[in-house]
Amino acid sequence: MAENHRPGLPSLNEARAERRRQLATGRARVGGLPPQFFLWGGLLLVTFFVAYYRVAQSDLEKARNELMAKQRAVAQSLGPKLLPIRDKVEAAAQELRSATYPGDFVSPNLDLEKLGETPGIYLRLRLEDTADVEQLRKAATASLRDGFTSCLFRDMKATSPQEGAACRESAQCEPGEVCTEFNVCQRPAHPFNVRLVYRALHVLSSKWTDEVHQARNELAISAYDGGLDSVTRVDIPVAIEVFQRAKVFTLVLDEEPADGLPEAIPDADETEQERLQRSQHFARVGIWDLKTGELLLRVRSQAAGELRDVGARRGGVAVQAARQRQANSCALALDVKRRAQTLQGAPPPAEASAGGEVDQAAAPEAQPTAQP
């Protein structure tokens, strides 16, 4: 027994023997938990995640189906009230964009004196954006009121477009108001911008439906649900109310200049439509009676205003470009009035000069006139 006894603690002797074995064989013996523990633990985790995924997908599909059911109900109840507006707008655009311009025309039923205060709707597009329906609808969502509407129509109740309660969506506004592109709540100005109709109709389109079907989580579905509620409770009722009061539809189609669009201004963030409007170009203007569908006016005129500053010029190149856009748009409106009066055999309005000169006071700024 004494011969088999080794000095030192048995545990230390065992540890030394183990290290020598590892150095000799190059292998380590794994102690602690048995391998079956990790196998069963991994299996439980996989089972948990599979079950969670299935439950989450089930909840997602349930939320998606509820949203689509709500959208179908809106389409059935409110769609028939909005679709006639869209159909009349698109039919008018196809009529005015005719490849062969049929010539200027003014109906004897058009009262130019009352036109400026007649409730109506308005849309302005590039001529090439009316080539097909999908392109027209996409462009219509970006249309804004501008110097043309400011110089042709009068809204005695209009306020500054930057006045109003701050908002991110129309649901945050008071009844009868919408959230404008300046993120303030305002009642729709005269003439009403058809852009808001197309924005409301987006939630009834196949594109919106496809986006909902592609949503990957409940958070995205919730966002679409909130947007549908906002449009349903505010934008659509306001659009329907305004359309029911509107009597005329005014459409402006800007033709591209023969030498193409002007160069973009660096850091000005101009759209192609804005670049077109600040250049001298021809535009087609049409006005229709919404009740009868009668064409009241069709004029092709040049948008070429000469902006004359009153006092010192302020602002940089981008500001001057914005002023030129409004001067051109205002000059177009004044020339349309002059041509219409000439065609009706009446003397042209005093404010419309043959040269299209527009004082700074008569040409509204770009920001204040860009209203829905």
To which residue do tokens 């129309």 refer? 170
Give the integer Cα–Cα distance in Å for 327 and 254.
Answer: 15
Mean pLDDT of all residues in 224-232: 86
Strand partners of residue 105? 298
247 pLDDT exceeds 90? yes
More confident residue, 315 or 276: 276
For residue 196, the model assigns a pLDDT of 81
What predicted TM-score, i.e. pTM, was given to this entire model?
A: 0.75
Beta strands in 149-265 (DSSP E): 178-179, 185-186, 192-193, 248-254
Mean pLDDT of all residues in 335-359: 68
Mean pLDDT computed over every residue of the chain: 82
List the structure tokens of 147.
């110097």
Query: Helix-strand-coil percent breakdown of the chain, rounded to 5?
Result: 50, 15, 35
Of the listed ranges 38-52, 239-253, 275-289, 328-342, the least confidently predicted one is 38-52
Share of the chain above pLDDT 70, in %: 84
222 pLDDT exceeds 60? yes
